């Protein structure tokens, strides 16, 4: 299963809050926080083929353009599954994950999984009916490994076109 990750500047390893204006970019292979999710992907025979990234404030200021370009990049890279996040409790990143997930879901046949913590309540309420949003702890919270595992299990089931209704009840908002 070929996986494409979508990160903000922090998870991409491109800087902290001071680099929130980082423009849209991408790299083939693994960058940033991929090593954190990689062991869980291996359990479901998944491998990261590329990572796309964008600073969360750059996204906020250029949302329409970034969403369109990122969706076009996803189509070109043709992964089996896209994972947006994990966004933890970072509001800007969580919103970016949800908005991009919605667009990819609507404009492609590629399954998408987003992940964020409950602190992103406004985004979750707006998108949970149209985007698969996996529950996860806030940064530094308890249960990260379980959440990462759930992200990968859901991604695999989507790729295999299995019924995810029962799983979504347990692990998604």
Domain residue spans in the chain? Answer: 2-171
Q: How far is CA 39 from CA 42, 48, 125, 160, in A?
A: 5, 11, 30, 20
Instruction: Write the DSSP symbol of residue 121.
Output: H
Write the pLDDT tens digit of every residue in 117-127: 999 999 999 99
Task: Classify residue 49 by burial, with Cβ atoms within 10 Å: 0-12, 13-18, 19+.
Answer: middle
Low-confidence ranges of the chain (pLDDT < 50): none
Write the pLDDT tens digit of every residue in 38-58: 999 999 999 999 999 999 999
Identify the pLDDT of residue 141: 87
CATH of domain 2-171: 3.40.50.2300
Instruction: Write the DSSP symbol of residue 22.
Output: P
pTM given for the model: 0.97
């Amino acid at each position: 299963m070929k996986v494409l990750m979508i990160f903000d500047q922090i998870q991409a390893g491109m800087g902290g809050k001071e680099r929130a204006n980082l423009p849209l970019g991408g790299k083939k292979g693994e960058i940033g926080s991929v090593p954190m999710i990689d062991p869980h992907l291996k359990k479901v025979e998944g491998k990261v083929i590329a990572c796309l990234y964008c600073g969360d404030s750059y996204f906020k200021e250029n949302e329409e353009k970034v969403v369109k370009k990122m969706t076009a990049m996803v189509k070109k890279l043709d992964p089996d599954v896209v994972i947006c996040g994990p966004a933890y409790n970072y509001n800007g990143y969580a919103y970016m994950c949800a908005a991009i997930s919605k667009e990819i879901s609507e404009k492609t046949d590629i399954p998408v999984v987003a992940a964020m913590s409950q602190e992103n309540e406004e985004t979750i309420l707006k998108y949970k009916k149209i985007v698969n949003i996996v529950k996860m702890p806030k940064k530094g919270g308890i249960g990260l490994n379980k959440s990462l595992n759930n992200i990968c299990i859901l991604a695999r089931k989507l790729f295999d076109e299995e019924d995810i209704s029962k799983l979504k009840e347990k692990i998604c908002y």
